[in-house]
Amino acid sequence: MTMVPLRKRMPSGRARAAHRRAPSESLSEYGLFFQQSLKSLRSTASLFPSSRFLTAALLEPVDFHSARILVELGSGTGAVTREILRRLAPDGRLYALDINGSFIRHLRRSYRDPRLLPLRANAEDLQALLSRHGVRHVHAIISSLGLTGMHPEQRTRIVGQAWACLVPGGVMTQYQYVHAIAGYPQLSKLRFHRFREGQFLRGLFREVGAQPVFLNLPPALVFTCRK
């Protein structure tokens, strides 16, 4: 009896496309965030996306009945973006910025919403970036940037840009992880660094409030800043 060799089964077009897909595209939202955080923990400042409790605290001060143009700084994989879009008016617009290209590609794949414009950009260039899109002022800025780990000049430029872009009375929300308030060692300078984020923000905004969010990993303090 002659054995006839089986023809090797060729993968379907969908399977071949999945095989060619970049590794980060097949990861879950949490997996992608964790992967990218390991590469650049200084900029992400956490290994986990914002919890729904932290997201709620960041968005509570925003008046979504009147706010039409919003900016999100440090959009990550979209944990906060998703909730902004859920609350945003049909004629609203959200500019979501992140310097991580993998995060921006993830947002573009995951959120087919005409109100959302994901942009790979540096928050230090916020004014120029919005100007190129015909925007002079925004009603609210939601920031998940890790200001604590930044150089002083960089954080001053970023928050200064945010202040300048807000309409009078506009609001910016920003958080700092509780463990960062105590400070952390700077081995390169052989010293212990402590950054008082609330004090820094009060130097720019006329009104700054703070709210702790313990149901987050890690726990955080949310600042509400009004121009």
Q: 2-36: per-residue pLDDT in tens?
A: 444 444 444 444 434 333 334 344 446 656 555 55
For residue 113, the model assigns a pLDDT of: 97
Top-confidence residue, 42 or 25: 42
Which domains are seen in the chain, by residue range? 42-226 (3.40.50.150)
Q: What DSSP letter does each residue of 79-138 carry, written as one string? A: HHHHHHHHHS-TT-EEEEEES-HHHHHHHHHH---TTEEEEE--GGGHHHHHHHTT---E
Q: What is the pTM of this model?
A: 0.78
Strand partners, 173: 142, 224
Please give the Cα distance from 202 to 204 (Å, whole number).
Answer: 5
Asked which of 30-39, 107-116, 201-210 is least confident by mean pLDDT, the reply is 30-39
The bridge status of strand 184-186 relative to strand 191-193 is antiparallel
Q: Note if the bond before 218 is cis, omega within 30 degrees.
A: yes
Nearest Cα neighbor of 126 from 174, 171, 165 is 165
For residue 208, the model assigns a pLDDT of: 98
